């Protein structure tokens, strides 16, 4: 299944349509054949459908991971993005990693900022160990995501058993997927400044709504729960009026920092507007979300309190309806005395209050 240069270039530059095309082509070419492999056909169809569905939903990172896992016959795949602190797991497929933030061995992070040529072998070996530890896999294969000779991260595929790894044909396709993933990362970096609240450094409302759409698509695809909360700072207006806007700004920054410490890397804390924040908790049920939100409420700094409304999403529900229900729960918390959490079930009934 060697990928010729003209085909590789063509598929890479045509964007989303090209990604969908390469996955259909590559997955079909490397799918089960013959009687001895027919027992894998049902799971193979599932991988193919998940990858193509993600690509057509605009989730190109997720699509790359699903395709890479299928092509390599692996148990997991991740996009590890290079950041100042090390590597951070972005999109994943299959078995999720145990850790999503990796600190790299001393000196390796600095070397990754230099030209990749000539040092690839040693750097791959240095990164492989932390990725093995983070994923729990017994074997991993790494493909660097390169932009102009600069490494911006790695596409990793992992197996829960000792295997020989992907063959030459599969490696060719994995390298092409890694190249596409590098472009996805670059576009994300360029867009990030337009999606960040300048005061707190948190995602802004637009970024939160974008992430909500992605997580709803993922929750549907993987059949996972999804919970959303809206939070208002109690007493913020009085602080702003009495101590001035500078003190109010400092309180918002301190609150963003304190609340962020209690969240997982996959969770999203955003400044929704003014003194209102929004939280997205993928994979969390309402009881689990309550524990997270209560820790956040108790960590609110400077003697301030907060009122929280939380609800869970049901498959097929529009995002604006989900947000509206969380807003209803938020105002129920305010009416009942503030500094508490109100949870509403998807049917809008059975309000529960904590605090």
Ordered DSSP codes for 105-167: PTTHHHHHTS--TT-HHHHHHHHHHHHHHHH--SEEEEEEEEETTEEEEEEEEEESS------
Long-range contacts of 287-296 (CB under 8 A, 24+ apart): 288/227, 289/227, 289/229, 289/343, 290/341, 290/343, 290/354, 292/262, 292/263, 292/267, 293/229, 293/231, 293/341, 294/341, 294/354, 294/355, 295/262, 296/231, 296/258, 296/259, 296/262, 296/263
CATH code of the domain containing 319: 3.30.70.270
Number of domains in the chain: 2
pLDDT of residue 5: 34
pLDDT of residue 9: 35
Q: Which letter does DSSP use for residue 284 in this model? A: -
In the listed set 159, 175, 194, which residue is the last one of a domain according to the structure? 194
User: Which tokens belong to 52?
Assistant: 């193509």
If asked whether residues 216 and 184 sit together in one domain, one would say: no
If asked whether residues 94 and 168 sit together in one domain, one would say: yes
Structure-model confidence comparison of residues 186 and 200, the more confident one: 200
CATH code of the domain containing 76: 3.30.450.40
- pLDDT, averaged across the chain: 80
Q: Is the pLDDT of residue 234 over 70?
A: yes
Selection from 314, 311, 347 nearest residue 331 by Cα: 311
If asked whether residues 176 and 218 sit together in one domain, one would say: no
Q: Whole-prediction pTM value?
A: 0.51
Q: Is the pLDDT of residue 186 over 80?
A: no
pLDDT of residue 99: 87
Round to whole Å and give the CA distance between 97 and 136.
Answer: 7
pLDDT of residue 257: 93
| Percent of the chain clearing pLDDT 90 (strictly above) | 40
If asked whether residues 183 and 226 sit together in one domain, one would say: no
- Lowest mean per-residue pLDDT among 27-41, 61-75, 85-99, 156-170: 27-41
If asked whether residues 35 and 180 sit together in one domain, one would say: yes
Q: Looking at mean pLDDT, say which of 32-36, 62-66, 111-115 comes out highest.
A: 62-66
If asked whether residues 256 and 279 sit together in one domain, one would say: yes
If asked whether residues 156 and 225 sit together in one domain, one would say: no
Q: Which domain holds residue 189?
A: 5-194
pLDDT of residue 270: 96
Q: Is the pLDDT of residue 21 over 70?
A: no
Q: Looking at mean pLDDT, say which of 28-37, 176-185, 267-276 comes out highest.
A: 267-276
If asked whether residues 212 and 187 sit together in one domain, one would say: no
Could you report the per-residue pLDDT of 328-355, keeping only the tens digit for each? 999 999 998 899 999 998 876 655 555 5
| Region 6-28 average pLDDT | 47
Which pLDDT band holds residue 38 (cuts at 50, 70, 90)? very low
pLDDT of residue 160: 94
In the listed set 160, 175, 194, which residue is the last one of a domain according to the structure? 194
pLDDT of residue 229: 98
User: Which tokens belong to 155?
Assistant: 């596409």
Q: Which letter does DSSP use for residue 204 in this model? A: -
Q: Which letter does DSSP use for residue 2 in this model? A: -
Selection from 240, 229, 233 nearest residue 303 by Cα: 233
If asked whether residues 68 and 137 sit together in one domain, one would say: yes
Q: Is the pLDDT of residue 12 over 60?
A: no
pLDDT of residue 43: 43
In the listed set 146, 167, 194, which residue is the last one of a domain according to the structure? 194
If asked whether residues 147 and 222 sit together in one domain, one would say: no
pLDDT of residue 42: 45
If asked whether residues 180 and 234 sit together in one domain, one would say: no
| Percent of the chain clearing pLDDT 70 (strictly above) | 77
If asked whether residues 152 and 237 sit together in one domain, one would say: no
Q: Is the pLDDT of residue 55 over 70?
A: no
Residue 55 phi, psi (nearest 5): -65, -45
Could you report the per-residue pLDDT of 257-303, keeping only the tens digit for each? 999 988 988 899 999 999 999 999 999 999 999 999 999 999 999 88
């Amino acid at each position: 299944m060697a990928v010729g240069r003209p085909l590789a270039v063509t598929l890479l530059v045509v964007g989303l349509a090209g990604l969908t095309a390469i996955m259909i082509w590559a997955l079909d070419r490397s799918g089960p054949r013959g009687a001895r492999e027919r027992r894998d056909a049902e799971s193979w169809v599932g991988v193919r459908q998940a990858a193509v569905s993600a690509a057509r939903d605009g989730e190109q990172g997720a699509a790359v991971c699903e395709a890479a896992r299928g092509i390599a016959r692996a148990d997991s795949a991740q996009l590890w993005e290079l950041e100042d602190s090390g590597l951070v797991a972005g999109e994943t497929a299959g078995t999720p990693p145990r850790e999503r933030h990796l600190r790299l061995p001393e000196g390796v992070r600095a070397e990754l900022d230099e030209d990749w040529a000539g040092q690839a072998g040693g750097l791959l070996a240095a990164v492989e160990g932390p990725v093995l530890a983070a994923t729990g896999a017994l074997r991993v294969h790494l493909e660097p995501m390169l932009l102009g000779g600069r490494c911006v991260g790695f596409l990793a595929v992992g197996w829960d058993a000792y295997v020989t790894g992907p063959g030459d044909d599969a490696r060719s396709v994995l390298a092409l997927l890694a190249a596409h993933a590098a472009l996805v990362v670059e576009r994300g970096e360029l867009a990030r400044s337009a999606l960040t609240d300048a005061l707190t450094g948190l995602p802004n409302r637009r970024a939160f709504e974008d992430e909500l759409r992605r997580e709803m698509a993922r929750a549907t695809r993987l059949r996972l729960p999804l919970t959303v909360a809206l939070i208002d700072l109690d007493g913020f207006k009085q602080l702003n009026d009495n101590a001035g806007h500078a003190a109010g700004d400092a309180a918002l920054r301190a609150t963003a920092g304190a609340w962020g410490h209690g969240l997982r890397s996959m969770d999203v804390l955003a400044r929704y507007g003014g003194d209102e924040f929004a939280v997205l908790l993928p994979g969390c049920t309402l009881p689990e979300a309550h524990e997270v939100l209560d820790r956040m409420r108790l960590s609110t700094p400077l003697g301030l309190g907060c009122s929280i409304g939380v609800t869970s999403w049901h498959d097929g529900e529009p995002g604006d309806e989900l947000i509206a229900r969380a807003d209803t729960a938020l105002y129920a918390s305010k009416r009942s005395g503030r500094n508490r959490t109100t949870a509403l079930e998807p049917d809008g009934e059975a309000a529960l209050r904590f605090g």
